[in-house]
């Protein structure tokens, strides 16, 4: 039984994240999508909204026999992973520029918890430039984000903008 944690901010979830989850499902029996509760950041969506949206959109992906669970956590990722009895942390790497930061985190996490392995996965090239940060920026400036996030997320972003 291989249980992995896929941690992140997911503010909001993009098609790149979903691509990684789908690929991860080929490797793991269970993936816990862990949303970081970060009091230092001013997110677009609350943790509850992100959790609800993730739950909806992962329903539509091809997960085979893999069990997906959406959860949130605060504090150290490795402590959360141990508490969840996961032995793998999954992180997506889009370009070399991601690698330096991801390597630092992976090595720090290994030092803190040697029993947990970090697995880097590459999304489809189509999503190699897609990030939640850029999606939000483009959206707020009136650009088209169709195809970069699931339709439900685009809808929720429009609703958010109208509420503001």
Return residues touching ligand PNS (CB under 6 A): 7-9, 36, 76-77, 105, 108-109
| Rounded least distance, CB 118 to ligand PNS, Å | 10
CB 70 within 8 Å of CB 58: yes
What does the DSSP 8-state code read for residue 85? T
CB closer to ligand PNS, 13 vs 157? 13
For residues 37 and 61, which CB has a smaller minimum distance to ligand PNS in the complex?
37
**Residue 7 CB, nearest distance to ligand PNS (Å)?**
4
Among 91, 132, 136, 156, the active-site one is 132
Please give the Cα distance from 113 to 127 (Å, whole number): 31
The span from the CA of 127 to the CA of 103, in Å, is 21
**Tokens of residue 95, six digits:** 């370009």
Cα-based torsion angle of the residue sequence 34, 36, 37, 39 in order, rounded to the nearest 10 degrees: 180
Q: Is 14 left (phi over 0), alpha (psi -120 to 50) or beta?
A: beta
User: Between 14 and 30, whose beta carbon lies closer to ligand PNS?
Assistant: 14
132 as an active site residue: the answer is yes
Choose the catalytic residue: 9, 17, 136, 156: 17
Query: Does 140 qualify as catalytic in the annotation?
Result: no
Crossing angle of helices 132-140 and 151-163, rounded to 10°: 50
Q: Is residue 41 annotated as a catalytic residue, yes or no?
A: yes
Residue with the closest Cβ to ligand PNS?
A: 8
Judge whether 111 counts as a catalytic residue: no
- Closest CB 75 distance from ligand PNS, rounded Å: 7
What positions carry a catalytic annotation? Answer: 17, 41, 94, 132
């Amino acid at each position: 039984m291989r249980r992995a944690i896929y941690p992140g901010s997911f503010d909001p979830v993009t098609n790149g994240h979903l691509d990684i989850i789908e690929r991860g499902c080929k490797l793991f029996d269970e993936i816990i999508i862990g949303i970081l509760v970060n009091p230092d950041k001013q997110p677009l969506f609350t943790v509850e909204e992100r959790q609800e949206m993730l739950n909806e959109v992962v329903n539509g992906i091809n997960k085979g026999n893999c069990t997906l669970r959406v959860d949130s956590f605060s504090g150290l990722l490795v402590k959360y992973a141990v508490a969840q009895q996961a032995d793998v942390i999954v992180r997506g790497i889009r370009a070399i520029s991601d690698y330096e930061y991801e390597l630092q985190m992976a090595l720090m996490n290994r030092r803190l918890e040697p029993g947990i392995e970090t697995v880097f996965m590459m999304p489809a090239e189509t999503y190699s430039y897609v990030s939640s940060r850029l999606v939000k920026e483009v959206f707020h400036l009136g650009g088209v984000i169709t195809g970069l996030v699931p339709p439900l997320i685009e809808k929720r972003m429009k609703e958010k903008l109208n509420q503001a």
